[in-house]
């Protein structure tokens, strides 16, 4: 007989990332640049894409000064930095563009809550990119943008991002909308692309909910329970990443920041609609996950009920029959039935009658 105790060690744990970092800086004075988060890559790279409706230039280097020097004021300059562990690189870039030290701190803190903030020289936006490679867990990556007059700085934890399509279009299509617009439009395209990618995560979660629903109805095991709990946790963490984004986008779409031109704000209204839709869908999934738990509970009760019925049917049929057999197994000297010629047959008759009554009773109760 084998039961389905899963190995406790293969329970897919969720790291509580926000806690690891915070205790690291506890007690440090502000303004000290420390990378808070796991080091996800060894390499660090500075990339430049610089364009306007006429020209397009690409460059990349491990050293910031090779990139940041000689930027044209005529073009939109997108400087992308991969690898938050290289604190010096980030400080250099920061100093070159006169980025406030509070911004730099937040960029380096992988557990920073998403937010938008306006400083004199820059608009700062930080949020999470989500990645659901397989159906078991979501990868959270910190991404920050610093929007200046004619440039955008983007900071990522490691190489590889959602913007490959954008890069190609900028490069190959001189007539694309972005080529004719300013840095704030590029900024909008970044935020829009990231928010759109959240829908992929939701799709992934929707699939898992449907699979779990079938599992709960057909064959609920302990493993199912773990999966539901896991899903619940992921939705809780997802929520923490997405809610503040709505807030931030809402501020932008209200036109609070002069870095975003009036004509770009209407696009942010669109992004805002999408964040609302992401959040509403997420809340829907939370409700569905909660009711999955209830249904699991009920499914287990149903199964127990079935088990009990089988036991009861068997016991209720055979216990009285065994009692009858027991009677005629007694050794009394004077038991007239034992001497009757058809005694044995009569007992069988009695037993079969009892059986019939029981079966009819259970049929009536619709137990089988």
Span 91-150, contacts to a copy of itself by CB under 8 A: 102, 113, 115
Q: How far is the CB of 317 from a copy of itself (least distance, A)?
A: 8
Site string for a copy of itself, 339-368 (x = CB under 8 A): x-xxxx--x------------------xxx
Q: How far is the CB of 52 from a copy of itself (least distance, A)?
A: 17
Burial degree of 87 (CB within 10 A; 0-12, 13-18, 19+): middle
Considering only residues 237, 248, 252, 260, which one is a binding residue for a copy of itself as defined by CB under 8 A? 237
Work out the widest C-alpha separation in the chain, in whole angstroms. Answer: 121
Structure tokens at 98: 């006169």
Phi, psi of 360 (to 5 degrees): -65, -40
Q: How far is the CB of 348 from a copy of itself (least distance, A)?
A: 9
Question: Of 264, 271, 124, which Cα lies nearest the Cα of 181?
Answer: 264
- For 366, left (φ over 0), alpha (ψ -120 to 50), or beta? left
**Complex with a copy of itself: residue 2 or 258, whichever CB lies closer:** 2
Site string for a copy of itself, 3-32 (x = CB under 8 A): x-xx-x--x-x--x-xxx-xx-xxx-xxx-
Site string for a copy of itself, 50-79 (x = CB under 8 A): ------------------------------
- 37 touches 15 (CB < 8 A): no
**Complex with a copy of itself: residue 71 or 113, whichever CB lies closer:** 113
Q: Any contact of residue 165 with a copy of itself (CB under 8 A)?
A: yes
> Footprint of a copy of itself on residues 250-289 (CB under 8 A)?
266-267, 270, 273-274, 276-277, 280-281, 284, 287-288
CB count within 10 Å of CB 93 equals: 22
Considering only residues 328, 349, 350, 360, which one is a binding residue for a copy of itself as defined by CB under 8 A? 328
Q: How far is the CB of 344 from a copy of itself (least distance, A)?
A: 4
Annotate 96-158 with DSSP letters as a single string.
HTT--HHHHHHHHBTTPPPEEEE-SS-EEEEEEEEE-SSSS-PEEEEEEEEE-SSEEEEEESS
Beta-sheet pairing, 115-118 with 56-61 = unpaired
Q: Any contact of residue 293 with a copy of itself (CB under 8 A)?
A: yes
Q: How far is the CB of 243 from a copy of itself (least distance, A)?
A: 9
């Amino acid at each position: 007989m084998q039961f389905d105790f899963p190995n406790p060690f293969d329970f897919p744990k969720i790291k509580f990332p926000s806690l690891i970092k915070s205790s690291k800086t506890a007690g440090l004075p502000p303004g000290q640049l420390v990378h808070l988060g796991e080091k996800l890559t060894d390499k660090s790279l500075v990339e430049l894409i610089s364009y306007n409706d006429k020209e397009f230039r690409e460059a990349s280097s491990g050293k910031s000064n090779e990139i940041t020097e000689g930027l044209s004021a005529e073009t939109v300059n997108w400087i992308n930095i991969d690898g938050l562990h290289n604190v010096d690189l980030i400080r250099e870039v920061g100093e070159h563009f006169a980025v406030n030290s509070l911004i730099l701190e937040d960029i380096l803190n992988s557990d920073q809550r998403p937010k938008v903030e306006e400083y004199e020289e820059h608009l700062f936006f930080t949020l999470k990119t989500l990645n659901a490679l397989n159906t078991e867990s979501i990868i959270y990556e910190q991404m920050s943008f610093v929007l200046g007059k004619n440039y955008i700085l983007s900071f990522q934890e490691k190489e590889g991002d959602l913007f490959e399509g954008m890069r190609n279009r900028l490069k190959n299509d001189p007539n694309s909308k972005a080529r004719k617009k300013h840095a704030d439009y590029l900024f909008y395209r970044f935020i829009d692309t990231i928010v759109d990618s959240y829908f992929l995560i939701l799709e992934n979660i929707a699939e898992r909910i449907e699979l779990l629903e079938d599992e709960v109805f057909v064959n609920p095991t302990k493993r199912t329970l773990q999966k539901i709990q896991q899903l619940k946790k992921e939705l809780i963490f997802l929520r923490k990443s997405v809610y503040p984004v709505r807030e931030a986008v809402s501020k932008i779409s209200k036109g609070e920041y002069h870095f975003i031109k009036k004509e770009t704000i209407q696009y942010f209204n669109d992004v805002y609609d999408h964040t609302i839709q992401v959040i509403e869908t997420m809340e829907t999934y939370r409700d569905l996950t909660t009711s999955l738990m209830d249904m699991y509970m009920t499914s287990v009760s149903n199964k127990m009920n079935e088990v009990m019925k089988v036991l009861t049917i068997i016991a209720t049929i055979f216990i009285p029959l065994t009692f009858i057999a027991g009677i005629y197994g007694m050794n009394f000297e004077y038991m007239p039935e034992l001497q009757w010629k058809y005694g044995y047959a009569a007992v069988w008759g009695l037993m079969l009658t009892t059986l019939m009554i029981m079966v009819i009773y259970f049929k009536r109760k619709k137990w089988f």
